[in-house]
Every structure is written in structure tokens, then in C-alpha cells.
Structure 1
């Protein structure tokens, strides 16, 4: 398993993977030095993240290998169907998965998504449009949604 640290506009991303694919991307709040030499198996991931943050990439094309239960895998696979620049509510996500009663289990699986940004759990919002729940912090979720919409919200204070 190889690891690299990649500086993004919203924090340092820790990327782990090997020849079988990207296993995890997480954001960390620690201010650590990023590596200039990226392991070969992670180079394409870093390139595609660069393009995403530059605004030139809307879809990722990477071999992924997230580790989770069969249910979690199905939830993460469904997240990949949410188009760039769009959002879906937790309820809509559970309907897509075929069980509206599983809303808490789906939300829990979303929170355990091991591949930040690329499996876009940040695109899932509350039914009332609120930015609920995001392991990376609500401010990052807001930033990502604004980045994808191309509209930057102004703050009053």
C-alpha cells in the first residue's frame, strides 16, 4: 500500500492505494509537508484531482478499491450516479437504492465513504436543502458544492 499527501484548496488529502486501485482519500487538518515524489500507482489520482480543483475535470476515471461491506459498496456505487454540479437528498438516495426505510443506514454508509471527492458524498444534502453531515466538515462540503456549481456564495459578515 502506497501513501501520498496532496495539498488541496481545502486541506491536505491523504491518498492511499496500490496497483489494485485507490483505496482511500481523506482530508486531514494537520499542516504537514506534502511529498513532491508521488508513487506511480497514485500519480493519475493526483493529476485528476489537480484538474478537478482547476475546474477542468468533472468526472473521474480512476481504478478504485474502497474497502467496505456489500451494503456500503452499494451506497458508494450509487453516489457515483450523482452528476457533477448536482445534489441529491438522503431520501432520494435511499429511493434509488430501493429502500426508503434505510435512510439512517444509507447516511451512515455515506459517512464512511473512504474516497473523498471522487465518490461524491458531498453531493448528498438534507431534504430541505440543508448541508447536513459531512465527515470533512460542513465548510468543505459547502466549498465543494460551490466549486462544482461555479457560483461562489458571498458572506455577509
Structure 2
């Protein structure tokens, strides 16, 4: 599959949202609801900044031949950060940020590692970082307020 086609497909998925069904909390199961659907959509800039802060806290170098003890320590140190990033993307609103801790702890207990990693990968790869960087580059090249050297003297080294 072509990279552009793959990116367009991921963009469409994020605009529409990626649904993940997980086991419903206990109080909802009392009322007969077995599962709930969480939807991950394209993050807003505020959410993208928060996700970037959390992602930068994961500062590890993975080796090809990682020992089991090292792998366990990586999961121990960064598993909660990964669930927090997914919780930020699911909530995707500054008004809902107080619920991030609750949702991340719930995700730790009720979502499979494969699904959590898939959502994390989708958020980081197609979350809008490329668009943000392109916007910054564009504004740097088109700054009309940038001071220009209008003097008639030549620059000398």
C-alpha cells in the first residue's frame, strides 16, 4: 500500500474516530450494560501538547536483544504513561482533563495491551504533528514583520 494512501486512510479513521469496546464499569453492569465504546478522534492542539509532554517522559533506548528483566522494568515504568496518553486522546477536551487519571487507571485494568499500543501508535503517527510542523515552517518563511537589512552599505565579513 502506498504511504499517501495509508496516511489518508488513517486521517479518515481519526476524523471519524476509532472505536474500542471495553468492559463496562461495575455500576453500568448492574444496569445490564456489558461493554462501553471509547472513541479516539483526531486530537485538538491542546490535547496534542499534553500528549507530547507525556510522550517525552518516555525516554528509553530499546535494544534488539532486550533481556526479560529489562522489558519488565520498561513496562513497569511506562505502562501508566501509555494509558494516560490514550486517556488524553479519548477525552480530547481541556474541560474533561480532571478525568484523565480515572480513565487511565480504568484502561490499565480493562484494555488489552495490543489495543492500547495500537491506539497509542495511531495517536502518535497520525495525530497531527506533521501538520503542526508544516504550519510552523510556513509561518517562518512568510514572516512579513521580519526585520530586513535596508541599508545601502554592503555586508562585510
Q: Normalising to structure 1: TM-score of the pair?
A: 0.28
Query: Higher strand fraction: Structure 1 or Structure 2?
Result: 1
- Pick the structure with greater CA Rg: 2
Structure with greater contact order relative to length (CA < 8 Å, sep ≥ 6):
2
TM-score normalized by the length of structure 2: 0.28
